[in-house]
Structure 1
Amino acid sequence: MPTESTFPKLDIPNIDLWGFLFERKDKPFPDDKVIYTDADTSRSYTYGQVRSTATDFGKGLKSQWDWQKGDVLALYTPNCIDTPAIIWGTHWAGGIISPANPGYTPDELAFQLKDAGAKGLVTQREFLKAAREAAKKVGLPEDRIILIGDERDESGRFKHFLNIRNMSGTSRFRRAKIDPKKDLAFLVYSSGTTGHPKGVMLSHENIVANVLMLKVGEAGNLSWDGGIDGKGDRLLAFLPFFHIYGLTCLIHQSIYTGLQLVVMCKFDLESFCKHIQNYAITFAYVVPPVVLLLGKSPIIDKYNLSSIRMMNSGAAPLTRDLVDAVYKRLKIPIKQGYGLSETSPTTHTQPWEDWNKTIGSVGRLLPNQVAKYMSAEEKEVPAGQVGELWLKGPNVFQGYLNNPEGTKNAKTADGYFKTGDVGYQDEKGNFYITDRVKELIKYKGFQVPPAELEGLLAAHSEIDDVAVIGIYNKDQATEVPRAYVVPKKGVKADAETERRIVSFLASKVANHKRLRGGVRFVDQIPKSTSGKILRRLLKEHAAAEEKSQKAKL
């Protein structure tokens, strides 16, 4: 039998995100509560300022760009405290937000702009060159590129978002009417194992449901002094807002619960520690590579991190060794959660009070969901046996944009999402993730599709055939991409050729997709009779190679 959440069932209101966040009757904090603070400049937004700025921006979209319901606004920017107002202003006008990794090359960004049908692009001055190039490739006019952040465009060609206002001076523009179950709030892109990234369609209901589910999951057992609330907790935000983890767990959870979110534009360990100390941060969402640094880096000793009550790790599996090392050094407890872009994202989390009882588990199933583990023959397996995790709930996505076949393969007729992750549950209802059916490489929480890298590498003049797999790097506590290359006849299989191949790919992809696992030269790529790359054999080869190297030490 499928497993239902042991949490009490929630009443998910039939309401869009704007109404959910800004027209609520149960808001437990005042309008002048500071919600978003820039970690470096201390510039901030109160709840009331976010609402008014978003309203002005939404009216400006309708006034200046004739914004229509369903139009897509793309974001190409690192973390910025202006981002929330942009998001909800677009929702006010009936639009959809599609965030893109600011590390994308112009070609990668252009694909997303075209696939999403973006009618506008938001960026920061530092990223204007790439943004303009991508916009040109897809025919997006330059006057549809606008800026956020503290820096302005000296030439005056590109408006700051605060200048996208209703110039008519009338109040004729009204908030768009939204069907929460059908209308999309976000179009986030999740890398598949083949081809280009897929547009994950998330409705207003999906995000509303997940915010409420997450609030229950983070409430904790108050007798344990657990749980985060809006009475004094401060969260440090370095996880990218362009990723669903940051979008929901940081941006949405903070304004719904009344948490102060101290926003870093990107991760830097020294800055991370400094901000925890200076802002008395009490909670942080992290990823395993950051946990590794907390356990080992000498930088940590320079700062007082004692204000932290708990950290939550997600995006990739977390080992007991890492958790134990941090607790031994800093007395900071770290629990784990689980989720995917297709589930808005959070589906499981460890209860605060159980953080050290079930290390290695991703926790319990959050409210309003049903889960089951399935065999390769798609038969349900009992507790304790390994299978692929399937999930169903109000947080499960609508489907993949322009990809009915992908949607059909990922969702069953009765609404289950096939996660592609393998694991099991114990008899107490704790869930474990042990492997992936899918072949995605996860580098520090970012998804790297091997087929994309293979397609680019295959075009290299010195490569005859190629396969890419993920190799676990213990020093970085993450997978890294490695290429297995069959060189063309006459090409030397040496360090200089490896350097050229690594540099070639680095010039064509975002930073997280680079070949940090290096290149291995082979005589042939193992393939099935149908021509599919047998990555399992390459992983076995890599494991044997590592074992042999250790034996020589």
Structure 2
Amino acid sequence: MAKNLGHMFLQILNNAELDQIAMICKISNASLTYNELLVNSLKIAKKMRDIGIERGDVVGFVSENRIEYCVSVIACFYLQAVIHLMNPSYLKAELQQGFDKSKPKVVFTSKENFDKVIMLQQETNYVETIFNFDVNYLDITKDGLALKQIELDPEISIERAIIINSSGTTGYPQSVVLTQNNIHYAMEYLQDSYMQYKEKAKLVILPFCHISGLFIVLDALQKKSKLVILSKFKPDLYCEIIQEHKIVSLETVPTIATFLARNPIIDKYNLTSVKNIVCGGAPLAQDIQNTILKKFNCQVRQLYGMTETCGLVMLAPIGEKWKVGSVGKPIPNIETKVVDPLTKKKLNCGELGEICVKSGMNMKEYLGNIEATLAAFDEEGFFRTGDIGYFDKDGYFFINDRLKDVIKYKGYQVLPVELENMLLLHKDIVDAAVIGIADERFGELPMAFVVKDKNSELNEEDVKYYIAVPIIERCSINKQLHGGVKFVESIPRGATGKILRRLLRETLKK
């Protein structure tokens, strides 16, 4: 009989070597043994129970990556409280937009985010207690009593366990509800040799408020590894961690992958321990993937998944010859299909359509949005990913773009990611994003936002000609930048590197 998450992690911590280091924070140099993690998590759980937190109550998190965050998440599992993880970069209004749906009684935060959480408490009627990792949290772990008993349920819950926000690339983020059952399935997959190597140390830079960052933490505990936490990406510290702790696997997003491919800093360090690099969150440009492959001489794989599927759907198996540009094959026991977005007809090998998936990791719902929840699943129970792609004769999948992002120019489909990859090949372009702008005559016009090198004199006509140049035949007439080019200081991206196109569209309204 499967145990609930509280019992699962209590057993993990009880069976670990007491003096083994569980976590290290690279920036603060703080560390915690597995015994300290056990004791501190039980103390936090006891304090929450004393103030009335019960099974099913919601506990919010607004903090950067840190050891105390992990301790408190485990404490919530003990009580079967529901955790709602929010991006610490959110403003007070954005926090309230998400928390108004879940109504957390308690919020864990840090001194960096304390002021906006206090404002949230003052302007709402649901936040009863705030635990500041840098103040009253410390009093609990120092002088508090530990929880002595965890309630035993007959089976794991199919109810809410985690609420975590989607990336919100095309619209405002949805609050994705994952169950204990979902988490158990994901934890089992993470133990599969299909996914990754078993390691003594894990580096985590991805935000804990994101599904990938959270599961790196949970998986490190499951494997009783040492978790090395880096709360903000700092190139030298990132490389130091890899060198010092002989990190074998790197879980990255495209921005970090680009750093690994192009930044000369990495040549100062011994990174030969790295045998496995996985990139997720957003498409990885093929030239970046090839460059990393040559530089590190190891497997470089793209991971495909989303918050609604616990971050896992596809990946090339370890040791198998993979295909550059592909997101791999469906993980075992995950059903997939590609369908025509209009007719819903199931498509065959090589045919472009919407990717749909079904597994025990599919979310329960979008909190407070029945309409969106119903629209997310088809009549067979498959989750509609909204991604356009295809599979080849070997079962490898390729993602072309987001269904909502596809630009319709004169009835032709233009894929923004295709144009973005072309733009990034230009020596003077640092970053780029493409959106469609409304046009009465042609429907939508492809428009590029471009970040150019600070020493470059590149202008709009140069960029448009680069895409349209007839000698190379880089793009057909339908795919050219008819909407123009706008130079910007930076491209807005989410925590995992996804382009926030909605924010780009909003800039055009100003």
TMscore range, shorter length: 0.7 to 0.9
Q: Is contact 2:436–2:447 with CA below 8 Å preserved after alignment?
A: no
Provide closer, same or farther for how the CA distance between residues 547 and 45 of structure 1 changes in structure 2, counting only shifts above 3 A: same
542-551 vs 268-277, greater mean Cα deviation: 542-551
C-alpha deviations, 1:313-345, integer Å up to 9, x for none? Answer: 111112331122123334343212111000011
Q: C-alpha distance in 1, partners of 2:406/2:137?
A: 37
Q: Which amino acid aligns with 1:386?
A: L
Residue identity opposite 2:68 in structure 1: D
Kept in 2: contact 1:288–1:318 (CA 8 A) = yes
Report the residue type matching 1:163 in the other structure.
I
Residue 170 of structure 2 corresponds to residue 242 of structure 1: no
Aligned-partner Cα distance in 2 for 1:293–1:337: 18
Unaligned ranges ≥5, structure 1 = 1-12, 153-158, 220-226, 442-468, 485-524
Matches within 5 A, 1:432-451: 432-439=398-405
Q: How far has the Cα of 1:185 moved from its partner? A: 1.3
1:163 paired to 2:140 = yes
Partner of 1:287: 253
Indicate the percent of aligned positions where both proteins have the same amino acid. Answer: 25
Whole-angstrom CA distance in 1 between matches of 2:376 and 2:253: 26
- The 10-residue stretch of structure 1 (75-84 or 472-481) with the greater mean CA deviation from structure 2: 472-481
Contact (CA 8 Å) 1:20, 1:208: kept in 2 or not? Answer: no
3-state SS of the aligned residue for 1:539?
strand
Please give the alpha-carbon distance, in whole angstroms, between the structure 1 residues aligned to 2:143 and 2:176.
31
Question: How far did residue 162 of structure 1 move?
Answer: 5.1
Is the Cα–Cα contact under 8 Å of residues 58 and 82 in structure 2 kept in the other structure?
yes
Partner of 1:268: 234
Q: Is the 8 A contact 1:192 1:440 kept in 2?
A: no
The alpha carbon displacement at 1:390 in A equals 0.6
Tell me the CA shift for residue 183 of structure 1: 1.9
Change (3 A) 1:173 1:429: same
**Higher RCO structure, 1 or 2 (CA under 8 Å, sep 6+):** 1
Query: What's the TM-score once normalised by structure 1's chain length?
Result: 0.73
Offset of residue 106 of structure 1? 1.1
Question: Equivalent residue for 2:47?
Answer: 60
The residue number in structure 1 matching 2:439 is 526
Tell me, in whole angstroms, the C-alpha distance in 2 between the residues paired with 1:95 and 1:370: 31
Instruction: Return the alpha-carbon distance in structure 2 between the equivalents of residues 31 and 170 of structure 1.
Output: 17
1:526 deviates by 2.6
The change in CA–CA distance for 1:197 and 1:357 in structure 2 (over 3 A counts) is: closer
Look up the SS of the partner of 1:62 in the other structure: helix
> Aligned pair in 2 of structure 1 residues 166, 411: CA closer, same or farther (>3 Å)?
farther
Gaps of 5+ in 2: 408-415, 451-459, 470-510
The one-character-per-residue Cα deviations of 1:196-225 (angstroms, maximum 9, x if unpaired) are: 321100001101101111221545xxxxxx
In structure 2, the residue matched to 1:385 is 351
**1:93 equivalent in alignment to 2:79:** yes
Does structure 2 retain, via aligned residues, the 8 Å contact 1:389–1:419? Answer: yes
Instruction: Output the aligned Cα RMSD.
Output: 3.3
Secondary structure of the corresponding residue to residue 250 of structure 2: strand
Aligned position for 2:371: 405
Aligned to 1:69: 55
Kept in 1, the 8 Å contact 2:46–2:146? The answer is: no
- Indicate if the aligned counterparts of 1:31 and 1:46 stay in contact, CA closer than 8 A: yes
CA distance in 1, matches of 2:169, 2:244: 42
Please give the alpha-carbon distance, in whole angstroms, between the structure 1 residues aligned to 2:147 and 2:447. Answer: 65
Which residues of 2 match residues 17-416 of structure 1 at below 5 A? 17-23=5-11, 30-63=17-50, 65-141=51-127, 144-148=129-133, 151-152=134-135, 159-160=136-137, 163=140, 174-175=150-151, 177=153, 180-192=156-168, 196-218=172-194, 227-230=196-199, 232=200, 234-248=201-215, 250-354=216-320, 357-376=322-341, 377-416=343-382
Over 3 Å counting, the alpha-carbon distance change for 1:353 and 1:31 in structure 2 is: same
> 3-state DSSP class of the match of 1:353?
coil
SS of 1:433's partner is strand
Look up the SS of the partner of 2:270 in the other structure.
coil
Structure 1 residue 357: deviation in Å?
3.3
- Amino acid across the alignment from 1:236: L
Partner Cα distance (1:304, 1:218) in 2: 27
User: How far apart are residue 131 of structure 1 and its match?
Assistant: 1.8
User: Which letter does structure 2 place at the counterpart of 1:547?
Assistant: K
Query: 1:30 is matched by which residue type in structure 2?
Result: E
Against the structure 1 CA distance between its residues 193 and 312, is the aligned structure 2 distance closer, same or farther, given a 3 Å change threshold? Answer: closer
Deviations, residues 384-429 of structure 1 (Å, cap 9, x unaligned): 2111111111110001111110000001343210001111112222
Q: CA deviation at 1:172?
A: 7.6
Q: Would you say the 8 A contact 2:40–2:146 is kept in 1? A: no
Taking structure 2 as the reference length, the TM-score comes to 0.79
Give 1:454's aligned residue.
none
Post-superposition offset of 1:285 = 0.2
Mapped to 1, the partners of 2:109 and 2:275 lie a distance apart of 34
